[in-house]
């Protein structure tokens, strides 16, 4: 659920991809979460039901993020 002006349901109306998306979850906090585009892939490179690539199968979303994007 978003509480701000951007409606993710209308994303299909955009002609160009977005690099940043902002969401405010209805979780009792005043926080806004910013999501960044981290990868663009071909349809055949991702398992359609699980939304995971071959090297990610069986991993949680947090595990995938830590493996690929958490560069400390």
The residues facing 21 across adjacent strands are: 35
Residues 29 and 50 in one domain: no
Instruction: Give per-residue pLDDT as tens, 7-32.
Output: 666 667 777 888 888 888 888 888 88
Q: What is the pTM of this model?
A: 0.59
Instruction: Label residue 32 left, alpha or beta by phi (over 0 means left) and psi (-120 to 50 means alpha).
Output: beta
Is 24 in the same domain as 49?
no
Per-residue model confidence (pLDDT) at position 18: 82
Domain total for the chain?
2
Q: Where are the beta strands (DSSP E) in 1-72?
A: 20-23, 33-36
Q: What span, in angstroms and rounded, lies between the C-alpha atoms of 18 and 21?
A: 7
- Return left, alpha or beta for 28; rule: phi > 0 is left, psi -120 to 50 is alpha, else beta: left
Same domain, 25 and 4: yes
In a shared domain, residues 55 and 33:
no
Same domain assignment for residues 56 and 30: no
Q: Looking at the structure, do residues 53 and 24 belong to the same domain, yes or no?
A: no
| 33 in the same domain as 15 | yes
| Structural domain that includes position 14 | 1-37
């Amino acid at each position: 659920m978003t509480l701000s002006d951007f409606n993710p349901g209308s994303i299909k109306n955009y002609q160009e991809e977005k690099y940043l998306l902002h969401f405010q979850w209805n979780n009792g906090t005043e926080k806004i979460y910013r999501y960044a585009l981290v990868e663009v892939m071909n349809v055949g490179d991702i398992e359609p039901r699980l939304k995971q690539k071959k090297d990610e199968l069986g991993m949680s979303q947090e595990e995938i993020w830590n493996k690929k994007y958490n560069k400390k």
